[in-house]
Structure 1
Amino acid sequence: MTSEKEAPRKPVLFRAADHAKVKEETQSHPLNPHSLIRGISLSAQVGLQRLGFHLLRIAPGKESFIYHSHQLEEEFLYILSGRGIAELGEESVEVGPGDFMGFPTPSVAHHMRNPFQEDLVYISGGERREMEVADFPRIGKLLVRVGSQVTIYDKVEGKTISFE
């Protein structure tokens, strides 16, 4: 039984047959007009709170979010089907089924795009910390997230200080 204070727990098993019953979400990054990702959060279906695990797809001609790096949260991608171009640092490489990318922190800047004719389908996952700092080096901006509050700063307006 569940006490009045506890919410009922989500099931620990989310079957493949149930994927079609979950409404696919669409998300794009506000700083990238070519960004468009569709998919479902598998971690949300089973109640995971500290780990994000998502089944995602990028349509032909679209991109993931924006070229970025992480300071605090580790991230990974595993390609299931289709092909894409992964920007890893200053290198662009074609990726396909079975390819795995991991981004320990501080991470190399990265981004995915799909210039091919079929959907790029992949698993994306990572940590969900209370705070994250992400760098968007190509556009000179820095994202700071504390809880659900996200603030984006222009790096040219920032000042480096020393506590010596």
Structure 2
Amino acid sequence: MIVVNVENAEGVENPHGVDVRKLLAMEKVSVLHVSLKPGEELKKHSTSVDAFLYVLKGRGVVEVGEERAEVKKGYLVYLPKNIPHSVSNAGSMEMSFLVVKVV
């Protein structure tokens, strides 16, 4: 069994300068917890694997390619590999979400 508390999870350096914590890293999947303060964002970037974003709290705007959607707690977004995407906190409170990367 693997049990991880986000508060004790290893921080991940990132070019966005935001709070990212590694919850799980296995051969075919990784799970990251991301927290964005109001006004913070994950700048447009792409990944070499498919990923999913699941909003835990707060609200924000996700852009995938040319598409844009407002998201909030309970929303899931598919992030296809090699397609640029970004996430910004559009609210007045912290936004947090999981990013699940799959091979």
User: Which one has a larger percent helix, Structure 1 or Structure 2?
Assistant: 1
1:37 to partner: Cα distance: 2.3
In 2 relative to 1, CA 49–63 (structure 1 residues): closer, same or farther, beyond 3 Å? same
Whether 2:88 is the aligned partner of 1:110: answer no
Query: Residue in 2 aligned with 1:3?
Result: none
SS at 1:95 equivalent: strand
* Deviation readout 1:46-67 (Å, 9 max, x if unpaired): xx23311012111111111x31
TM-score by length of 2: 0.80
Q: Which runs of 5+ in 1 are unaligned?
A: 1-11, 30-34, 129-164
Answer with 1 or 2: which has the greater Rg. 1
Q: Which runs of 5+ in 2 are unaligned?
A: none
Identify which of 69, 76, 82 aligns with 1:93.
69
Query: Residue in 2 aligned with 1:13?
Result: 2
* Deviation readout 1:122-153 (Å, 9 max, x if unpaired): 0101136xxxxxxxxxxxxxxxxxxxxxxxxx
Alpha-carbon RMSD across the aligned residues, in angstroms, is 2.2
Query: Residue in 2 aligned with 1:149?
Result: none
1:32-111 residue pairs with structure 2 within 5 A? Answer: 35-44=16-25, 48-64=26-42, 66-70=43-47, 72-105=48-81, 107-111=82-86
SS at 1:49 equivalent: coil
Give the letter aligned to residue 38 of structure 1. D
Q: What is the distance in 2 between the residues matched to 1:27 and 1:84?
A: 22
Runs ≥4 in structure 1, deviation > 6 angstroms? none
Q: How many residue pairs align between the two structures?
A: 103
**Are the counterparts in 1 of residues 62 and 85 from structure 2 also a CA contact under 8 Å?**
yes
Query: Residue in 2 aligned with 1:27?
Result: 13
Q: What is the distance in 1 between the residues matched to 2:94 and 2:10?
A: 15
Q: What is the distance in 2 between the residues matched to 1:24 and 1:37?
A: 14
Give the letter aligned to residue 22 of structure 2. S
SS at 2:34 equivalent: strand
% identity of equivalent residues: 24
